[in-house]
Structure 1
Amino acid sequence: MSETLLVTEAPGGSVPGASGGRQFWRRLRAQRAALVAAVVVALLVLVALAAPLLTALEGQDPTTYHPSLIDSARGGVPVGALGGIGGDHWLGVEPQTGRDLFARLAYGARVSLGVAFAATVVQVAVGITMGIAAALGNRWVDQLLSRITDIFVALPLMIMSLALLAIVPTSFPRPVLVTLVIGLISWGNIAKVVRARTLSLKELDHVAAARLSGWGSWSVARRELLPGLAAPVITYAALLVPQNITVEAALSFLGVGVKPPTPSWGQMLTAADVWYQAAPQYLLLPAGALFVTVLALTVLGDGVRTALDPRVASRLRVGTGRRGENKAGGAS
């Protein structure tokens, strides 16, 4: 996403207060697609948080093998219709292992969503720090930090992640490692957004007055700049989460992400690639969960962007109106 689109000002030049918060929720509620996406995301987060409770209600866990539910004569295909779906196994069992699919999907949501959200927090923290430091520093500091940011923007995330995850000892907690690798490599774009927005905010009278009154750089940043950075940062962070879910799934799919027996949707897809004919639900369930999650987060992120910057919606309406007028004129 371009920096120009994200570096926008709320009415009045800064993030609005309580009344602005009410306006934001009103604009967000007016977008039905964003509301549906928010409900879907909330349900997914609830499933992830309540995974132990849900699997306890089912009476299963994500790591126990059930060899009696596997037909070894057919190569490990689950016994029964639809992959062994029943009262004891709500979504059936895995081929070859007999592990409960519902339990692994629920615990996999904890890993996939947890890694994505935590990596986004790391990206935002590093990006804000680097962006503000570059904008408030002198010319040499700005040039140095900007060139470092450019290097990280240019780094190929997947290749660097593959290299780093391959050399780190397996004893290091894998979800934490994946979170740190994603967060510490792909913060460059948000740092550019923060730097550009901070340079704009520096020219405002209240920020200049704070600097002239003797406030330190970080006091100015905390009291005067961070409120004005909230809107673009929240917008960009909302769009980073689905991207990070996709990266985590891809790394697990390639075998360098989360390791068994810890469940992950990407890891489940890796193990399911040879079972798409004999046990299609083993492939479709994690793939469907990933698709729905990424779609819902993307739609929600776009809704947040429009709610924080109503001028985007206005431009869209104006463009649509002009196209309608052109069509009407052509018809006449």
Structure 2
Amino acid sequence: MSEALLPTGPVADELQPLPASGGRQFLRRLRSQPATLVAAGIVVLLIVVALAAPLLTALEGQDPTTYHPHLVDSARGGVPVGPLGGISAEHWLGVEPQTGRDLFARLVYGARVSLGVAFAATFVQLVIGLAVGLGAGLGSGWLDQILSRITDIIIALPLMIMALAVLAIVPPSFPRPVLVAVIIGLIAWGSTAKIVRAHTITLKQLDHVAAARLSGWNTWHIARRELLPALAAPVITYGALLIPLNITVEAALSFLGVGVKPPTPSWGQMITSANVWYQAAPQYLLFPAGALFVTVLSMTVFGDGIRTALDPRAASRLRIGTGRRREAKA
């Protein structure tokens, strides 16, 4: 009886809840992952700290380059004076061995370098990889072969060895953070191009892309209107996973002595300098190493969460698996 009183026809259609938009679905899936939300909060906090480094160091009253020789014990080889590496109201995380430079100031300014290099290198990789991948996927057979072989050569190049070789011959006057970001981006775009090419070949076989081609649209118009929106999800996902990898590469290059040069602070450079101080002043190693670990872990978890939120199939598999586990427990 109650069903007979329900409206039918156009009125019933108007009363049906509207489906959530793509953005709302993405946010809903993202909110359903507590680990991703925590990682996103940490990533935002790190970015804010890096951007606000001048303000934070001004509040502390220190800067990353000023030496404080009176805060280190020269008789003991330059070990910081005071407990916990010289931690005080003036130096929140203590001072650097031998030089006495403020460790907090160098840490937050090092975040600017590490995150800035990683984001810039990732941007270069995505732009080049997207252009080459689209060209290979949409181009003719000979163009696809040429671009694919170039991509294979780029992938086969050892990133660290090539970066070491290039960084070693560039004049020191060139801005080092910019140079590191450009070199990483120019050497490591091959995987992005492979992913974009594979998705482009799949997408161009769909009916709406074929209809656009039959309507007389040129290749650029098809790529801009039909392919790029569909490629946004995999490219953003892969870019989010590239950022922690590039942070690690920058730290490794600085650790090897060919990355960012002093006095510009970098987490990898600080870890290198801390090699001989991990027993006498362990905080000098623990703070930059801990910051690097937390950053890479948070970026990785956040990137994986974005992948799950942007991929409905992954989200469906997650729901199905959770439901089966609940049924098994019941």
TM-score by length of 2: 0.91
Identify unmatched segments of 5+ residues in structure 2.
Answer: 1-18
Q: Which residue does the alignment assign to 1:90?
A: 92
In the alignment, the residues of structure 1 paired with residue 159 and residue 322 of structure 2 have an alpha-carbon distance, to the nearest angstrom, of: 37
Per the TM alignment, residue 321 of structure 1 is displaced from its structure 2 partner at its CA by 6.2
Equivalent residue, structure 1, for 2:220: 218
Match of 2:242 in 1: 240
Q: Which consecutive unaligned segments of at least 5 residues does structure 1 have?
A: 1-16
1:39-54 aligned at under 5 Å gives the runs: 39-54=41-56
Indicate the residue corresponding to 2:155 in structure 1: 153
- The one-letter amino acid of 1:175's match is P
**CA distance in structure 2 between the partners assigned to 1:236 and 1:140 by the alignment:** 27
Where in structure 2 are the equivalents of 1:162-201 lying within 5 Å? 162-201=164-203
Counterparts of 1:310-325 in structure 2, within 5 Å, are: 310-319=312-321
What code does the residue aligned with 2:205 have?
Answer: E
Per the TM alignment, residue 323 of structure 1 is displaced from its structure 2 partner at its CA by: 7.5
CA distance in structure 1 between the aligned counterparts of 2:323 and 2:261, rounded to whole angstroms: 52
Q: 1:289 to 1:127 in 2, by over 3 A?
A: same
- Indicate conservation of the 8 Å contact 2:159/2:188, yes or no: yes
- Which position in structure 2 is the counterpart of 1:230? 232
**How far is 1:285 from its partner?**
0.3
Which structure: larger Rg? 2
- Give the letter aligned to residue 237 of structure 1: G
Question: How far apart are residue 215 of structure 1 and its match?
Answer: 2.4
Which residue number corresponds to residue 260 of structure 1?
262
**Contact 2:29/2:315, CA 8 A, preserved across alignment:** no
Correspondence for 2:127: 125
Partner of 1:148, secondary structure, is helix
Once the 2 structures are TM-superposed, how far is the Cα of residue 217 of structure 1 from its aligned partner?
A: 1.5
In structure 2, give the amino acid aligned to 1:190.
T
What's the secondary structure of 1:262's corresponding residue? Answer: coil
What's the C-alpha RMSD, in Å, of the aligned pairs? 1.7
* Count of residues paired in the alignment: 312
Per-residue deviation at 1:211?
A: 2.2
Report the equivalent of 2:141. 139
Segments of 4+ in structure 1 off by > 3 A?
316-328
**Aligned partners of 2:62 and 2:20: how far apart in 1?**
46
Counterpart-to-counterpart distance in 2, 1:170 and 1:265: 20
Match of 1:112 among 111, 114, 139: 114
Asked if the contact 2:271–2:288 (Cα under 8 Å) also holds between the matched residues in 1, the reply is: yes
Aligned to 1:250: 252
CA displacement, residues 161-197 of structure 1 (integer Å, 9 cap, x when unaligned): 1111111111111001100110011111111111111
**Superposed CA offset, 1:248-291 (max 9, x none):** 00000000000000000000000000000000000000000000
Specify whether residues 307 and 155 from structure 1 end up closer, same or farther in structure 2 by C-alpha distance, changes over 3 A only: same
Give the CA deviation at 1:18. 7.9
Aligned partners of 2:118 and 2:250 also within 8 Å: yes
Correspondent of 2:280 among 278, 281, 289: 278
Task: Give the Å deviation of 1:319.
Answer: 5.0
Please tell me the residue identity of whatever aligns with 1:62. P
- CA 1:203–1:304 in 2, change beyond 3 Å: closer, same or farther? same
Which one scores higher on RCO, CA 8 angstroms, separation ≥ 6? 1
- AA partner of residue 66 (structure 1): H
> Amino acid of the residue matched to residue 242 of structure 1?
P
Distance 1:150 1:298 in 2: 26
Partner Cα separation in structure 2 for residue 321 and residue 26 of structure 1: 18
2:6 aligns with none
Q: Which amino acid aligns with 2:119?
A: F
1: CA distance, partners of 2:263 / 2:225? 46
